[in-house]
Structure 1
Amino acid sequence: MSTSPSSASRMLAGLREAAVQWWRTDRLTWIYLLKALAAAFLALGVAMKLDLPQPRTAMTTVFIVMQPQSGAVLAKSFYRIGGTFVGLVATLTLIALLSQQPELFLAALAVWTGICTAGAARNRNLRSYGFLLAGYTAALIGIPAAQHPDGAFLAALTRAAEVTLGVLSAGFVSALVLPEHASEQIRGTVRARFSKFVEYVAAALGGRIERDQIERTNARFLGEIVGFEAMRSIAVFETHDSRVRSGRLARLNNEFMTASTRFHALHQLMNRLRAAGATQAVDALEPYFRELAPLLYEPSEPVLTALDAARSAAKLDTFKAALPRRVRETRALLAAQPDFPLLDFDTAAELLYRFVDDMHAYADTYASLATASHERERSPERYEPKTSAFVTAVAGLRGAVVMAALSAFWIASAWPSGSTLVLNAAAVCALASSSPRPTRMSLQMAGGTALAALVGFIVVFGVYPHIDGFVLLCLALAAPLALGILLSTRPTLAGYGAGYCIFFCVLAGPDNVMHYDPAGYMNDALALLVSMAASALAFAVLLPPSAPWLRRHLTAELRRQVVLACRAPLARVRSRFETRARDLAFQTHALTPDAPEAQQQTLAWLVAVLEVGHAVIDLRRELADLPPDARYAPTMPWRRSIARTRKALVTLFAQPGAGRLDAALAASFDAIAAVQQTLAAFAPPREERHRLQRILSHLHFVRTALIDPQSPLAAFAGQARRSDTPNSPGALHAS
C-alpha cells in the first residue's frame, strides 16, 4: 500500500506544525525539567563526595529555589542564604539560652517563627522568602540540635553548608545551561503594555470602547503592574544591563500607573458631562481628543520599540507646549457665550493637560531605555507590595499558635517524629501565608506529600537495596522526581508539585549511609501530613484569610488611602498613594477569583479612591505653591472652606455613610463658591489667577466624582443634597 504525495506532504506539514507548537510551549517545560534534575543530582553528588551528614538537604534546597528563569533562581538563592544565616544565628542564640528548658525553648521558637511568618506575609515579594527561611531554618536546625546541645554548633554549620551547596548548584545550572532570562520577558512586556495602552487610549478617545471592556482593561492593568515589578526585581540579579536600567523600569511602572489613572479620570469626567447634558463643554473639547489620538497610536506606525516611543514623546511634547495657549483661546471664545459651563470646560481641560504631561513622561522614560545610562535612572520611586499590618499580625499569630500547639502535643506524646511535625509546620505556615488561598495551598501540599510518601516508600525499600553506584542512583531517582517537577509546572497543580518534590527528598532522599527503618519512615510521613493538616485547619479556623472579613478589611484599607492623600507630607505622596491603593485592590481582587461581582465592587472602589485621591493631591500642591500673600493665607475663609472639604473627605472615606456624603458634598460646594468669590473679589496676576482656577477645577472634579452614579458612593446618596449653584460666570455644572 503506497501513500500519495499529497498525503505525505500533509503529514509532514502536520508534523512540522506540531513540532513548532511544541517548541513554543512544552519545550520550556522539558528544558526546566532537565535542568532541575541536573541541579539536584549535582548537589547530591557533591554533598556525598564531601561526606556531608544529610545530602538530601542539598537536593531539597534545589527544588525549593529552582525556577524556570535564571534571575528568579539567583534572587531566591540570595534571600535563602541570607535567611538561612539569620535563622542560624537565632538558633544558636536560643540553644545557648534555653536548651536546658525544652518548654521555654519551643515557646521561644514559636515566637520567632511567628515573627518570621509575619515578615513573610508582610512582604509579598522575594524578600518574603528570606523571612520564611529565617523561621524555617531556626526550626530545622534548632529542634534537632537542641536535643544534643554539645554538637549544636557543628550541626548548624553542616546544615548551612548543605543549604549553600544546594543554592549554588541550582544557580550554577540555571545560569549556565540554556538560561531563560526575565530581562527578555521585561522587554516584551514593556513593548506590549505601552502599545496596548496607547491603543486603548486612542479607542476610548474615539468612543470605540464599552464600559465592560474598560473594567476588564483596568483589571488587567492591575495584575500587570504587580507582575512587572516582580519581574524587575528578578531581572536585576541576571545582567548588568538590567541593573543599570532598574531605576528607569521602576519609574516606568509608576508613570504607567499615574497615566492610566489620569486618563481614566478624564474619561469618567467626560462621561459624566455627557450624562448631565453638558454637551457644550464636551463639544468644545472633542477637537483636542481627535488630535491627541493619532499622536498616541497610528495603526500604520505602531509604537513597538524605545525609538518609536521617542518619536511619540516628541509629538506629545509639541502638543503639550501648544495646549495651554490653545485652551486659553478656546476659553476666551466660550466665555463670551451666555451661561456657558466654563467650570466643566476648565476641569476637563486641566485633566487633559495633566494626562498629556503624564503620558509624555511615560513615553520619555520608555525612550530612555535605549541608552545604557540616563538621568531618569535616578528615581527613588518603587512599587513595594505590602500586606496590611493587621493581616500581617494575624499571620504571625497564626504561625506561632500552630507551632506552640504542635510543640505541646510533641512534649505530651513523646512522639519520635515530633521534631519533624513541628519544624515542618513552621515551613508550611510561612509558605502558605503568602498565598491568596492558603488553606487550599496547604491541602495541595498535603496531597503531594502523600503521593511522595507512597512513591518514596517504593524507592527506598524496593529500589535502593538493589542498586550500587551514583549513576544508577540518579537513574532510579529521575522518574519519581520528574513526576513532581511536571506537576509543579502546571499552575493549578503547583501546590501538589511543590509538596511532592520537597518532601520526596525529605523522606526518600539518599544519605551516604542508608538506614532502612520502615516504622521511622511511616512516622515521618505521618508527621508531615499531620503538620500540613494542622496548618490547613489553622488557616480555615483562625481568622481565615479567605473569609469575607478580610475582603471588608482590605476594602476599608483601600478607602483609607484617601486619608493618606489628604494628610501625608507632599513629598512622594503621589507614588505612595498610587502604589498602596493599587496593591490593596490587587490583594482584594485576588481573594475573590470566583466572585465577579465582588471583583467589580473592588475595582469601583479603586476608581473612586484614585480619582478623589489624585485630585486632592493636585489641590494640595497648588495650595502649597501659592505665593506668600495675605490673601492666600491658610486663615483666609476660602482656604478654611477647602480645609473643611478635605476633612469631610477623610471622614467620608474612612467610614462611608449618607450623612457623611452629604457633608462632603456641602463642603465641596461651599469651597467652590468661596474660591469663585475670591476670584471675583480682586484681579490677581495671570499666573496666580491660573493657579486659583486650577484649584477650582480640582474641587469641581472632586464633587463630580462624589455624585457619579457609577461610583460605589452612589449607594449612600439617599438624603437630599444641596443642588443650588452659585450665580457666577463659572457656575457649577455636571452636578
Structure 2
Amino acid sequence: MGIFTIAPQHLRFAVKLACAIVLALFVGFHFELETPRWAVLTAAIVAAGPAFAAGGEPWSGAIRYRGMLRICGTFIGCIAALTIIIVMIRAPLLMILVCCLWAGFCTWISSLVRVENSYAWGLAGYTALIIIITIQSAPLLTPQFAVERCSEIVIGIVCAIVADLLFSPRSIKQEIDRELDALLVDQYALMQLCIRHGDSIAVDNAWSALVRRTQALDGMRSNLNMESSRWAKANRRLKALNTLSLTLITQACETYLIQNTRPELITDAWREMFNAPAQTAQDVHKQLKRMRRILSWTGEHDTPVTLYSWVGAATRYQLLKRGVVGNAKISTREEEILQGEVVVKAESAERHHAMINFWRTTLSCMLGTLFWLWTGWTSGSGAMVMIAVVTSLAMRLPNPRMVAIDFLYGTVAALPIGAFFFLVVIPSTQQSMLLLCLSLAVLAFFIGIEVQKRRLGSLGALASTINIIVLDNPMTFHFSQFLDSALGQLVGCFVALMVILLVRDNSQSRTGRVLLNQFVSAAVSSLTTNTARRKENHLPALYQQLFLLLNKFPGDLAKFRLALTLIIAHQRLRDAPVPVNDDLSLFHRQMRRTADKLISASSDDRRRRYFNRLLEELDVYQEKLRIWEAPPQVTEPVERLAGMLRKYQRALTESQ
C-alpha cells in the first residue's frame, strides 16, 4: 500500500516522531551538548517504541509513561555504574565482568515484574555497561559523564513528550466506553451458550476470547491512568470492573459444568429467560431488570447459585460502567462495591524463565567482553553495548529471537542509510541547522510510518542510523570510524542472536506445571474459616495466570479446561459455608502448607510425594466434614476437587 492510503493518525504520528527528533537535535546543539546524538536517540526510541508495540499511534500517556521509565532506568543504571567503579576501579576486567552480571541481574528482575515496568530494569542494566565501557580511558571523569548522559536523556524525553502534546494525543476513554458496552453484551451471550449446554468448543472459544478482552481492558485502564489524573475515579471503577468481568465468566462456565452432572438445576423458566436475544447493552439492561424481578419473587434459595451470582455481578457491572462513562463522583453504593474485597496480586510462575534470561544476558555480555579484549577492535565496545541492549530488551518479550532478528535487520538497513547521511547529507547540511533538521525530519517521517506497520527492522533501523551518523559537537567525519561503528552494531546484534539461539529456553513446560499447581494451591487455600482470608479476592491473579497459560500453550484446550475448572472450584469453595471450629482450622493450615510445598518442589519425586499427601489430606478432610455435619454446599465442591486432582494427577506432577 502506498503512503497516501494510510490512515490520518498514521501520518500524524510520523509528523510527531519527526518533530520530536528535530526538537531534540535543535536543543542539543543550541545548548552545545557534547553528544546531542543521545538526546536525539532517546527522543526517537521513547516516541517510536510505543508506536511499534501498538501497531499505530500510541494512546495518550504512553509516550510520557515510557519516558518516565527511561528516566528511572537511566538513574538506576548510573548509580549502579558509579558504585561498581568506586569499588572496583583498580581491577578493570573484574569491573566489566561484574557489570555484565549487573546487566543479567536487571534482566532477571525485568522478567519477574509487570511487563509495562520491565523496560526500566532492562535499561538500568545496559546503561551501567555503557558508562563503564565508555570511561575506560578516563575513569576519573565518570561522575561528569554520568551527569551529562542523564541530562541528554532527560532532554530527549522532554522533547518526545512535548511533540506528543503538540499533535493532539489520542485519548483511550471513548474506546473504553465502547468496550465496556460490548463486553457486557458478550458476557450475556456466553451465559446463553452455557445455559443451552451446546457445543463445548464454541463455549471454549467464547470464554477464552472474553478472558483476552478482559485482560486487554485492564491494559486500557493502565493507559487511561497514565493519560491524566482526572481519570482517577474511572480508574478505581475499572479495577473493580475487571474483577466483575472475570466473575461473570467464571459463573457462566460453572453453569455449563454443573449441567454435566445435574442438568435439572437449570429450570425451563431460566432457559426461556436466556433465550431472549440481546444485541446492545440496553437490551441486556432490560433483561437484567426482568431477572431481578423474578429473583425478588422466587428468592435466592430457589435459584441456582451460579445464576443468582451472575445476575448480581452483572448488576454491579452496569452500575460501575455508568460511573466510568460519566466519570461522576463515586456514590455510596459504588464505594461499598469498590471496598468490598482485597485483591491479591499474582505470584510470578516464570522464575526458571527469568533465570534463563539472566544467563542469556550475562553470557552474551561476557562473550562480548572477551571478543573486545581479544581482538582489541576499537568498535568492540560498540558491539558490547548492542549485545547488552538487544538481550536486555528482548528477554521480557514473548519471542526474544524475533526481537534479536529485528535488531539485526535494523543494523543491516542502517548501514546504507547511515552511509548516505554520513557521506552526502550531513556534510552538505552541517553549515545550515535548518537543512540538517529537515533531512532528519524526512528520515524520521518515513521510518515512523514503517514503525506503525510493525515492519521487521524498522525500529532497529531508526535507532541504529541515529547512533552511527555524526551528531556530536563538534562534528568530525572519519569514514573508518563510521564503518567501525556500523560493523560494531552489526556484530553485537549477531552475537546476541547466537546466544539466544544457543541458550535454549526450556522453561515452558515447567512454567505450565507451576501455573497449574498454583491453581491447585489457590483452590485448597480457599478452604478457610478466617474471615479476612475469605474476603481476599484471588480471581484477577488467577485469570492473569490463566492468560499467561493461554499465551504459553495456544490451542491446548485440556490445560485451559483444567485451569478454568480449578478457578471455578476456588470460587465455589471460597463462598462455601465451612463449619467454624478449631479442628477444621488446624487442618486447613496443614493442607495449605502441603500445597505450598507442592508448588516449590524441585523434582518429580518430591512433587508426587507432596501431591499424594495432599490427596490423602483431602480424603481425611472429607471425613471430618461428615463428622462435623457440613452442608452439601461444602462437601460436594470438596469431593469434586479431590476427584479432579486424582484424574489429572499425572499432568500436575510430571515433567513433560
Structure 2 residue aligned with 1:563: 521
Match among 541, 546, 551 for residue 508 of structure 2: 551
**Whole-Å Cα distance in 2 between the matches of residues 172 and 149 of structure 1?**
35
**1:146, 1:152 within 8 Å by CA — same for their partners in 2?**
no
Q: Give the AA of the match of 2:159.
A: S
Q: Percent identity?
A: 19
Of 190, 193, 212, the residue aligned with 2:180 is 190
Partner letter of residue 439 of structure 2?
Answer: A
Deviates more, 1:398-407 or 1:371-380: 371-380
Q: Tell me whether 1:428 sits opposite 2:390 in the alignment.
A: yes
Residue 281 of structure 2 corresponds to 303
Q: CA deviation at 1:429?
A: 0.9
Change (3 A) 1:642 1:143: closer
1:316, distance to aligned residue in structure 2 (A): 5.6
Task: Tell me, in whole angstroms, the C-alpha distance in 1 between the residues paired with 2:398 and 2:388.
Answer: 18
> Are 1:313 and 1:364, in contact at CA under 8 Å, matched by a contact in 2?
no
Report SS of the residue matched to 2:267.
helix
Partner of 1:244: 233
Q: How big is each residue's C-alpha offset from its partner over 1:200-251, in whole Å with a ceiling of 9 and x where there is no partner?
A: 22343245x5322222223323332332222222221212332232122112
Q: Which residue number in structure 1 is paired with residue 631 of structure 2?
A: 692
Structure 2 counterparts to residues 355-366 of structure 1, below 5 A: 355-366=310-321
* Aligned equivalent of 2:497: 536
Q: Deviations over 1:610-663 (max 9, x none)?
A: 2333344344xx32xx45xxxx54269xx9699879969996998799999999
Aligned counterpart, 1:6? none
SS in 1 for 2:407: helix
The equivalent of 1:456 in structure 2 is 418
CA separation in 2, counterparts of 1:463 and 1:234? 39
Residue equivalent to 1:164: 154
- Judged with a 3 Å threshold, the aligned counterparts in structure 2 of structure 1 residues 327 and 170 are, in CA distance, closer, same or farther, namely same
Equivalent residue for 1:503? Answer: 464
Q: For residue 373 of structure 1, what is the amino acid of its counterpart?
A: K
2:113 aligned with 1:116: no
User: Gapped runs of 5+ residues in structure 2?
Assistant: 51-57
> Could you tell me how far apart the structure 1 residues matched to 2:99 and 2:76 are?
14
| Residue ranges of structure 1 left out of the alignment (5+ in a row) | 1-17, 329-348, 680-690, 717-735
Q: Decide which of 362, 367, 387 is 1:400's aligned counterpart.
A: 362
> SS at 2:90's partner residue?
coil
Distance 1:119 1:653 in 2: 19
Amino acid in the other structure paired with 1:288: W
- Write the deviation string for residues 292-333 of structure 1: whole angstroms up to 9, x where unpaired: 565xx634xx216xxx887776666555555545518xxxxx
Give the 5 Å matches for 1:68-87: 68-87=58-77
Cα distance, 1:359–1:674 mapped onto 2, change above 3 Å: farther
Q: CA deviation at 1:427?
A: 1.5
Partner of 1:211: 200
Q: Which residue of structure 1 lines up, in the alignment, with residue 217 of structure 2? A: 228
Q: CA deviation at 1:180?
A: 0.9
Q: Deviations over 1:81-127 (max 9, x none)?
A: 11111112112222222233211210221121112111222124221
TM-score (ref. length: structure 2): 0.85
CA distance in structure 2 between the aligned counterparts of 1:479 and 1:180, rounded to whole angstroms:
23
Counterpart of 1:60 in structure 2 is 41
Give the corresponding residue for 1:605. 562
- The change in CA–CA distance for 1:320 and 1:403 in structure 2 (over 3 A counts) is farther
Partners of 2:350 and 2:469 in 1: how far apart?
39
CA contact 1:566–1:617 (8 Å) conserved in 2: no
1:586 maps to 547
1:438 paired with 2:407, answer no
Q: Name the counterpart of 2:437.
A: 474
Instruction: Name the aligned partner's letter for residue 219 of structure 1.
Output: S
Distance 1:508 1:316, change over 3 A: farther
**CA separation of 1:350 and 1:675: change in aligned 2, threshold 3 A:** farther
The Cα offsets for residues 347-370 of structure 1, whole Å up to 9 and x where unpaired, read as: xx2333333333333333323323
Residue equivalent to 1:254:
243
Distance 1:696 1:602, change over 3 A: closer
- Per-residue CA deviation, residues 558-583 of structure 1 (Å, 9 max, x unaligned), is 11111143248875688774344433
Aligned to 1:340: none
TM-fit CA distance, 1:38:
0.9
Could you report, residue by residue, the CA deviation over 1:245-291 in whole angstroms, capped at 9, with x for unpaired residues? Answer: 21221121122122212221221221x12xxxx55x25x63423433
What is the Cα deviation at residue 482 of structure 1?
3.2
Q: Give yes or no for contact 1:645–1:667 (8 Å, CA) kept in 2.
A: no
Letter in 1 for 2:233: V
Secondary structure at the residue paired with 1:514?
A: coil
**1:634 alignment counterpart:** 583
Match of 1:521 among 482, 485, 488: 482
Give yes or no for contact 2:517–2:599 (8 Å, CA) kept in 1. Answer: no
The CA RMSD over aligned residues, in Å, is 3.7
What residue in structure 2 maps to residue 264 of structure 1? 253
Asked whether the equivalents of residues 262 and 354 of structure 1 are also in contact (C-alpha less than 8 Å), the reply is yes
Task: Verify the 8 A CA contact 2:521 2:592 in the aligned structure 1.
Answer: no
Give, in angstroms, the shift of residue 64 of structure 1.
Answer: 1.5
Name whichever of 41-50 and 189-198 sits farther off. 189-198
Q: Structure 1 residues 414 and 473 mapped into 2: Cα distance closer, same or farther (>3 Å)?
A: same
Whole-Å Cα distance in 1 between the matches of residues 221 and 419 of structure 2? 42
- Among residues 4, 18, 22, which one is paired with 1:37 in the alignment? 18
Residue deviations 1:656-714, cap 9 Å, x none? 999999998897677667646754xxxxxxxxxxx72321342354367568xxx8669
SS in 2 for 1:359: helix
Aligned residue for 1:351, secondary structure, equals: helix
Kindly tell me: are residues 564 and 419 of structure 1, through their superposed partners in 2, closer, same or farther at Cα, counting changes over 3 Å?
same
Structure 1 residues 565-602: Cα deviation after superposition (integer angstroms, max 9, x where no partner) = 32488756887743444333433433456xx3xx3344
Cα displacement (A) at 1:46: 1.0
Shift of 1:35: 0.7
Residues 135 and 314 of structure 1: CA distance in aligned 2, closer, same or farther (over 3 Å): farther
**Contact 1:37–1:478 (Cα < 8 Å) also in 2:** yes
Corresponding residue number in structure 1 for 2:449: 486
Question: Structure 1: how far apart are the matches of 2:140 and 2:609?
Answer: 69
> Relative to structure 1, is the Cα distance of residues 423 and 644 closer, same or farther in structure 2, using a 3 angstrom cutoff?
closer
In structure 2, what is the Cα distance between the partners aligned to 1:382 and 1:60?
39
Q: Give the whole-Å Cα distance in 2 for the aligned partners of 1:507 and 1:387.
A: 40
TM-score (norm 1): 0.76
Structure 2 CA distance for partners of 1:380 and 1:504, relative to 1, 3 Å: farther
Q: What is the alpha-carbon distance in structure 2 between the residues aligned to residue 713 and residue 354 of structure 1?
A: 31
Alignment CA distance shift 1:185-1:125 (3 Å) = farther
Q: Which has the higher contact order (CA 8 A, sep 6+)?
A: 2
Mean Cα displacement is larger for which, 358-367 or 235-244?
358-367
Q: 1:567 to 1:178 in 2, by over 3 A?
A: same
- 1:399/1:426 contact within 8 Å kept: yes
Q: 1:602 to 1:474 in 2, by over 3 A?
A: farther
Structure 1 position 532, deviation (Å): 1.6
Say if 1:453 and 1:504, in contact at 8 Å, map to a contact too: yes
SS at match of 1:543: coil
SS in 1 for 2:78: helix
Q: Would the alpha carbon gap of residues 417 and 543 (structure 1) be closer, same or farther in structure 2, given more than 3 Å must change?
A: same
SS in 1 for 2:170: coil
Cα distance change, pair 645–99 in 1 and its aligned pair in 2 (3 A): closer
| 1:418/1:527 contact within 8 Å kept | yes
